[in-house]
Structures are given as structure tokens and as C-alpha cells.
Structure 1
Amino acid sequence: MRHAVITAGSKGLGKMVTEELLKKGCSVTVNFRSDLARINELKEEWKEYGDRIQFVQGDVTKKEDIKYIFTQAMERFGRIDYLINNAGPYIAERKKLVDYTDDEWYEMVEGNLSAVYHFLKLTIPVMRKQKFGRIITYGFHEAEHAPGWVYRSAYGAAKVGLVSLTKTVALEEAEHGITVNMISPGDIVGEMKELNIQEARKMQDPNTPIGRPGSGEDIARVIAFLCDEDSDMITGSVISVAGGVDVVNKFRQVQHQSLNIIE
């Protein structure tokens, strides 16, 4: 039985990825940071998968917590086939680089870039022994082109660095049967993160070229495909799941429109 470690796998996009892999017969170690009430809800919701799932508390910005998550997965299931780096701190408030505190900057870098490094150091040796592994990171639309992202300097810098790390490790580990790819979700927010595609198709979104909002299932389906044994030809790729939305430039366009109105 394949085993997946999914960081922040109890809410939002992570929850949908967890559910998708459980349905495909995998066992899953779900990492969560603090919401115990949510975990109790999921234990009831997913009780049919009780023998194939465990919940491990930990903060991915802390190296010792990452080691604990890894150790718990290995002790319970003895292997790690899929590493889904779903967790990634994000500051919703729009602020320029000079307005960030040191703590905010380091949280963005540690949570979005260094955390992946620490997980890779632990899991890659396991995957090498198995001669199989699927690693997924998360980026943002056009991250591979290192665009400027107004008011998102810390998050953007960490994710752009993660693009290079993803591509580099994909090359380094290909000979061991390990693939490494990045998913770049579109503007999937709020309740849409935990909705399925059929529910999303009932809604209209004039800001998305395909006409509907993105959903958590859109992301989960792509990740499940990349985890398949026969998807080994896909590695070092950055795959956008955005419905055609230019997420980075959306606010810049709104900002320019506002300036034109003022003028």
C-alpha cells in the first residue's frame, strides 16, 4: 500500500488531496498545526479509513516538528511514497517589503522553502531505497518566470526559490525513480478550497476565462495523476491549475484601473 505524507492536510486544498488519495487506497499521514476540533470532525468524517490514516500535530516552520512528522509516518506505516508539501504560510495583508517584520519574512521563507528542504532531506533516502517516490510542491501562477508580485515579496521570493529547488531535485533524483513537480493553484479561495468540480460548475466567475471558479478537487486530481506510477515521465514540471487567470497581475491591473479613474 502506498503511503502519503500531506502537510496541512486537514483543511482547504490539503483536505481535498488527502481525501482523493484515501479514495485511491493509499494510507495517509496528515499533518496539522493546532486545530484539534477539526481533527475530531475528520476522524468521524473519515472513520471508514481509520486503519489507513493518522493525524500528526506539528509546525512546518520548525525543523524538530518536521522530524517528528516524518518519524511518526515511518513508525506507523514504514514507508513514504508521496510527499505533498501542501503547507505554506501566507500573509493576506498587502504590504511592501519595507513594512515586513523580520519575523514575518522568516516565517514566509522557513514555511514555504526551508520546510521543503528539511522534508526532502528526510524522505529522499527512504524513497531511494524504495526506488520510487513522488514529491509535490506548491507555487503560484508564473512562479517559474520569477515575476514581480506587488505586496507579496516574501511569499513570492520563497516560492520562486522553491521552483529552482523542485527542478534541481527532480534532476538529481530521477535515477532513483523519484519525480518532483510543482502545482501552481489559481485564485482558489475560501470555501472553494473544499468544494468539488461539480459544485464549482454551478457557479459563474466572470474573472476566470473558463467561466467557473477553481475548486480543491481541481488541484487534488492533478496531484493524484502525478503520483501515479505511470506518470514517471513528468518530472521537474511546474503545472498551473488556474483556469487561465493571471493571479500575479490581477491586483496590478485593478491598481492601474483605479489610477486611471483618479486621473
Structure 2
Amino acid sequence: MARVAFVTGGTRGIGRCIVERLKADGFKVAAGYSGNEEAAQACANQLNVMPVKGNVSVFEDCRRAVELVEKELGPIDVLVNNAGITRDGVFHKMSSEQWGEVVRVNMDSLFNMTRQVIEGMRERGYGRIVNISSINGLKGQVGQTNYSAAKAGMIGFTKALALENAKKGVTVNAIAPGYVDTEMVQAVPENVLQAIIAQIPVGRLARGEEIADIVSYLAGERAGYVTGATLSINGGQHM
């Protein structure tokens, strides 16, 4: 029987690449989204996956989303916590709204989503949780104290949860991508984008498929001995 995967923020960018790869791997896949109906419908139609609308920063939304997925597809075996936002600004000018929104969507969502599935995974003796962090959670970034703090917190969450669930057949890992060739990055002014690429030793942006390849491995049954790890995919930009 095909296993079930739920990818938050799964209808665009890196998330969509992950959804496409897991679907190709034979999973039954649910793709979470918060607002872009057009992108969600396109993802659902083109990849034949289940779109699930909800706000990952709201616990009850996450509870309802998981209930819908489990009713339609079955118990969730793989959770990819990918949803995230940026609200950039230097800290001495940052508003509480900029700070709070990023922490809620990028960090609180880990509790909101994972809490819904962890007991079932433990009871069944199998689960894969993959958290999409960031290079900036490892090295920091000017204008992103909120984002860097949340993404660094994700790594601590990963390690602690991995320890708690290792004996239950549930692995918990993080991926820390560098700059990826998504619509969001391509919208950066050309001169800024070229300056970013100049700092990457391999001389290019990552492709979404390269991130999805790592998720595919961590989500699979062969990755049972990998837990508590943070895998950097940044072209050598930060080591």
C-alpha cells in the first residue's frame, strides 16, 4: 500500500518540486497551501495530488487539514514542514508584526503540524518528518533576524524531536537550502541576484529538484538510520 505524505507550502516553489518528486516515488500526496487558489488548482490538476487549504500558524487549521488528509488518503507517514515566509527588515526598525508573523509561520507551524501526526506515527512504529530550514538559520543574514531565528529554532526542534522518537521508528531531519532558483528568487533585481551567485562557489543557484531529491531520500524507508541531521545544500556558500 502506498504511503501518505503531506507537504506544507506544497503548491509552489520548492514545495511543489517536493510534491512532484514524492508523487513520482509512489506516495499519495497532499499539498498544503494558504491562499493562492490558482497555483493550488494547477498543482492538483497537473500532479494529481490533494490540495489542502489552511494557515500553518493556526493550530486548529492544521488539525482540520490533517483530518481531511487522513480521511481521504489515510494515515500520514511523511510530513514535510516546508511552508515559510519572509518579512525582511533590519532589527532596529523591525515591527512586532514583522517579527511575530515570521515566527508563527516558520516556527510555530512545526508544533501545529507535527503535533497532529506524531502520536499516530509512534503508534504505528513508522514516520518521517523533514523540516525545511535555511542557510540563514545556520549563518544568519542581515535584515533577517526574524527569519534566521525561526530557521535556527527549526534545527533545535529537529534534534530534540529526533531524540524523543528514535526508538519508535520515527526519524526527524532538517534540510538547510541555500539560494534556490524559484520564482521568488528570480524576482530579485538582476544586479542583486548576480551578487548572490558570485558568493556561491559552484557558481549557480540550486534547482528545486535538487532539494526534492534529498527530501525523497529522507522520506523513504532506506533512511531509517538517519535522524537528527541537518543537511546543507548550498553549493559551498556556507560550511
Same fold (TM over 0.5): yes
For residues 149-199 of structure 1, the C-alpha deviation after alignment (integer angstroms, 9 at most, x for no partner) is 3211111111111111110000000011000000011111434989xxxxx
1:181 corresponds in structure 2 to: 173
Amino acid at match of 1:220: A
1:206-221 equivalences under 5 Å are 206-221=198-213
Amino acid at match of 2:125: K
Contact 1:188–1:216, Cα closer than 8 Å, also in 2 = yes
1:199 corresponds in structure 2 to: none
Pairwise CA distance, 1:14? 0.2
Q: Give the SS at the match of 1:182.
A: strand
2:111 corresponds in structure 1 to: 117
Q: Give the SS at the match of 2:175.
A: strand
1:99/1:56 CA distance change after superposition, 3 Å: same
Structure-2 separation of matches of 1:177 and 1:114: 24
For residues 176-228 of structure 1, the C-alpha deviation after alignment (integer angstroms, 9 at most, x for no partner) is 1000000011111434989xxxxxxxxxx554212332100010000001111
1:116/1:156 CA distance change after superposition, 3 Å: same
Aligned length: 228
After the TM superposition, which segments of 4 or more aligned residues of structure 1 sit over 6 Å from their partners?
none
Amino acid at match of 1:119: M
Structure-2 separation of matches of 1:182 and 1:42: 24
**Are 1:66 and 2:67 matched, yes or no?**
no
Contact 2:133–2:152, Cα closer than 8 Å, also in 1 = yes
Structure-2 separation of matches of 1:187 and 1:75: 36
1:2/1:193 CA distance change after superposition, 3 Å: farther
Pairwise CA distance, 1:232? 1.1
Contact 2:56–2:113, Cα closer than 8 Å, also in 1 = no
Pairwise CA distance, 1:139? 1.5
Q: Give the SS at the match of 2:18.
A: helix
Segments of 5+ residues of structure 1 without an aligned counterpart are: 195-204, 248-263
Amino acid at match of 2:113: F
Q: Which of 153, 162, 185 is equivalent to 2:154?
A: 162
1:252 corresponds in structure 2 to: none
Pairwise CA distance, 1:148? 4.2
1:15-94 equivalences under 5 Å are 15-46=16-47, 49=48, 53-91=49-87, 93=88
Amino acid at match of 2:108: S
2:120 corresponds in structure 1 to: 126
1:152 corresponds in structure 2 to: 144
Contact 2:14–2:182, Cα closer than 8 Å, also in 1 = no
Amino acid at match of 2:238: D
Pairwise CA distance, 1:39? 2.3
1:255 corresponds in structure 2 to: none
Amino acid at match of 2:177: P
Contact 1:13–1:193, Cα closer than 8 Å, also in 2 = no
* TM-score, L = length of structure 1: 0.81
Contact 2:136–2:148, Cα closer than 8 Å, also in 1 = no
**Are 1:98 and 2:99 matched, yes or no?**
no
For residues 54-104 of structure 1, the C-alpha deviation after alignment (integer angstroms, 9 at most, x for no partner) is 11111111122111111111111221111000101112x4x2223222122
Q: Which of 144, 158, 164 is equivalent to 1:172?
A: 164
When the two chains are superposed, the root-mean-square deviation of aligned CA atoms in Å is: 2.0
